[in-house]
């Protein structure tokens, strides 16, 4: 049993805000955690700008509590929130050091983050910061207060719809039909976001049901989304005939700056 535990991979995911990892990776994270992987989420900002009527420290504390509840529901080991202001993240040396420390302390085998092209500057700079930490995590004289890793982890990007400079490429796809309810339960913990801020920004706040069960069902519908052609093709390749019937999936693209794996090795990292 102990032997088995030590061979399980250590995974760390970075989002800009304390619900980003949940939305992009929550299903796969729940699956990995269930399989015994050590999974950690990090929000690079504290989320203190993500609301139409609340803000500052009070909002950051509310969102921290939501993130902890989401982690509990997803079954992941940790959800860390770095105390950087929301909406003002910059790819500074200090922020890069925070990322390098987090990856090293987790002794990560796999690191996930957004691609560095995205509508939100915090998402973009989170992508840049994690890219800048790739490779540097193995350099002992950089951030010398935290022991360097001996092996560069595998770095992967979350899926997005942005076309420039290049469309997302699904190098590995995971069916999350079996954990869809768990993913939605995780997101449901982010009340300030999924039922207040995001619907307000989208001009659909009146659509949100008042009843807790009804709004969770609404959330599931809102988040279901369409599986694009490239991801569908990758699902059919990985899952055979079942791939055409998968309703919910998450996909990831390999970053060239980390450890390079071919598609077969990559698929082995992620249980079907």
Q: Which residues bind Zn ion (CB under 5 A)?
A: 16-17, 20
Q: In whole angstroms, give the CA distance from residue 76 to residue 11.
A: 10
Tell me whether residue 13 or residue 16 sits nearer to Zn ion (CB atom). Answer: 16
Task: Work out how close the CB of 192 gets to Zn ion at its nearest, in angstroms, rounded to a whole number.
Answer: 13
**Which helix (H) or strand (E) element contains residue 170?**
none
Task: Work out how close the CB of 52 gets to Zn ion at its nearest, in angstroms, rounded to a whole number.
Answer: 16
CA terminus-to-terminus distance, the chain:
22
**Which helix (H) or strand (E) element contains residue 145?**
none
Task: Work out how close the CB of 182 gets to Zn ion at its nearest, in angstroms, rounded to a whole number.
Answer: 21
CA atoms within 13 A on the CB side of 258: 24
Residue 2 and residue 30 in contact, taking contact as beta carbons nearer than 8 Å:
no
Which residue has its beta carbon closest to Zn ion?
A: 17
Q: In whole angstroms, give the CA distance from residue 247 to residue 224.
A: 8
Q: Give me the residue label for tokens 């942005």.
A: 162
Task: Work out how close the CB of 220 gets to Zn ion at its nearest, in angstroms, rounded to a whole number.
Answer: 20
Task: Work out how close the CB of 104 gets to Zn ion at its nearest, in angstroms, rounded to a whole number.
Answer: 24
Tell me whether residue 20 or residue 253 sits nearer to Zn ion (CB atom). Answer: 20
Task: Work out how close the CB of 43 gets to Zn ion at its nearest, in angstroms, rounded to a whole number.
Answer: 9
Tell me whether residue 60 or residue 269 sits nearer to Zn ion (CB atom). Answer: 60
Tell me whether residue 161 or residue 217 sits nearer to Zn ion (CB atom). Answer: 161
Tell me whether residue 98 or residue 193 sits nearer to Zn ion (CB atom). Answer: 193
Q: Give me the residue label for tokens 């009340």.
A: 191
Q: In whole angstroms, give the CA distance from residue 32 to residue 272.
A: 10
Tell me whether residue 9 or residue 65 sits nearer to Zn ion (CB atom). Answer: 65
* Structure tokens, 215: 């709004």
For 10, 12, 55, 263, the CA distances from 107, given in Å and listed in that order, are: 7, 9, 34, 23
């Amino acid at each position: 049993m102990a032997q088995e535990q030590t061979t399980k991979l250590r995974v760390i995911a970075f989002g800009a805000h304390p619900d980003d990892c949940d939305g992009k990776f929550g299903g796969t994270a729940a699956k990995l955690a269930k399989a015994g992987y050590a999974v950690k989420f990090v929000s690079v900002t504290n989320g203190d700008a993500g609301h139409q009527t609340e803000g500052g420290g009070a909002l950051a504390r509310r969102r921290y509590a939501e993130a902890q509840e989401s982690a509990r529901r997803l079954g992941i080991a940790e959800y860390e929130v770095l105390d950087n202001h929301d909406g003002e993240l910059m790819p500074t040396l200090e922020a890069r050091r925070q990322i390098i420390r987090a990856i090293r302390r987790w002794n990560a085998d796999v690191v996930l983050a957004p691609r560095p092209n995205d509508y939100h500057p915090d998402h973009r700079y989170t992508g840049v910061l994690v890219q800048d930490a790739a490779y540097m995590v193995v350099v002992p004289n950089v951030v010398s207060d935290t022991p360097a890793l001996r092996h560069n982890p595998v770095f992967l990007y979350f899926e997005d719809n942005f076309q420039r400079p290049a469309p997302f490429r699904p190098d590995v796809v995971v069916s999350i039909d079996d954990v869809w309810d768990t993913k939605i339960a995780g997101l449901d913990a982010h009340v300030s976001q999924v039922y207040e801020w995001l619907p307000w920004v989208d001009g659909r706040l009146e659509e949100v049901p008042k009843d807790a069960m009804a709004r969770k069902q609404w959330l599931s519908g809102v988040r279901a989304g369409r599986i694009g052609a490239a991801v569908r093709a990758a699902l059919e390749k990985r899952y055979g005939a079942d791939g055409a019937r998968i309703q919910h999936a998450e996909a990831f693209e390999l970053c060239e700056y980390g450890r390079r794996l071919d598609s077969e090795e990559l698929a082995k990292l992620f249980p079907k």
